[in-house]
Amino acid sequence: MDRPPPFIPDTAVAEARAVDKLYGDSTSASGVAALQGVSLSVQAGEFVALVGRSGCGKTTLLNLLGGMDTPTRGAIWLAGQPTALLSDSELTRLRRGAVGFVFQFFNLLPTLSVQENVELPLLLQGELALAAVRRRAREVLQAVGLAERAADYPHRLSGGQMQRVALARAVVHRPRLIVADEPTGNLDTTSADQVLALLRGLCTDQHTAIVMATHSPEAAAIADRVVRLRDGRIVAGHGDGAGDGPP
């Protein structure tokens, strides 16, 4: 495997450098080039929205930046580390500490209470005593306005409440990067606004970097920078964090 180019220390939390992602045999009719020559740098405290039609590569890019997948060619840097040089266990450890994930369909565990769902990332890290884990989970639930629902199970919550629990779970371990895939896609307008306000606050107050894939112009409008993809390529929005606010 080719060695990635050297990392230049700055405030970049996640970076893709000339990344291709191919599925199947790209030379045959069944092969798919999901990303082609994509470079994108996300800075600490920056909110980046990825927009484009379904199938343009948004989710693939999110998975690469969050360390959930590896590129076919090119390099991914996460929290200052080249993911290609990490073992599976090292990458898992880095991802658990540095990244929080928010999904369109919430992905809460139905057999766990709200409190237990939020505690899970901290328990997986195994770095805090149980009392500290419970205390931090309660604090985060309070911050998203759901402390009184801690003992409930997900099926008793509305969609907006479930997404706020999912957001609490994503941030409880204080990650440097939040990866959000259509976080408002299943929500009504009021709930979507609440979730977006919480995400915006993380950037402003905690200097958390956020990369969000969305089809919603309203969601994209709160980002610092909008990156538009088409057929696996970036066609608008700078890859280096230089600017380009919402259209």
Angle of helix 189-206 versus helix 159-171 axis, rounded to 10: 20
Would you say the pTM of this structure is higher than 0.95?
no
H/E run at residue 171:
helix 159-171
CA distance 8 to 50: 24
Domains and CATH numbers, the chain: 46-67+87-228 (3.40.50.300)
CA dist., res. 130 & res. 147, Å (int): 18
Give which of 107, 138, 110 is closest to 122, Cα–Cα.
138
Q: Please write the tens of the pLDDT for every residue from 19-32.
A: 999 887 655 556 68
Q: Are 210 and 48 in contact (CB under 8 A)?
A: yes
- Residue 205 has a pLDDT of 86
Distance CA 207, CA 43 (A): 9
CA 36 to chain centroid: 21
Taking only the tens place, the pLDDT of each residue in 78-132 is: 998 999 999 999 999 999 899 999 988 888 999 999 999 999 999 988 888 999 9
pLDDT digits 0-9 by tens, 48-70 = 999 998 888 999 999 999 999 99
- Spatial separation of the C-alpha atoms in residues 230 and 10, rounded to whole Å: 29
- Report the share of the chain in percent with pLDDT over 70: 88
Checking if the pLDDT of 2 tops 60, the result is no
